Amino acid sequence: MFGLNKKIFIIGGIGIVVAGVVWYGMTSETPTSLLTTTDVTGASSATERDLIDTLLALRAVTLNGSIFSDRAFLSLQDFGTQIITEPAGRSNPFAPLEPQ
């Protein structure tokens, strides 16, 4: 019985030592600065240039409302269903029910 307890304590001690080494290894790094800086250069990547080109192309798009006065648009029918108003429920649905 004493041999089993001794093995458990040895395994537990080794586990604690390994956990301590891992903990120390993870936290012993120098703390990183909360403020990071990047150098801004005039050169931009191809992705940035593509994005800017797309945004400039979208800026050139103009919209007009002439389609809403078109005869084809005016001949469209609404097949939506009418929403029937229903009475509102209790003002506080979580309040206890009142006896009737």
**3 state SS for the chain:** CHHHHHHHHHHHHHHHHHHHHHHHHHHCCCCCCCCCCCCCCCCCCHHHHHHHHHHHHHHCCCCCCHHHHCHHHHCCCCCCCCCCCCCCCCCCCCCCCCCC
Amino acid 1: pLDDT? 59
Task: Compute the distance between CA of residue 14 and CA of residue 8 in angstroms, rounded to an integer.
Answer: 10
Give the residue-averaged pLDDT of 66-92.
90
Task: Compute the distance between CA of residue 11 and CA of residue 3 in angstroms, rounded to an integer.
Answer: 12
Per-residue pLDDT band for 46 (boundaries 50, 70, 90) equals confident
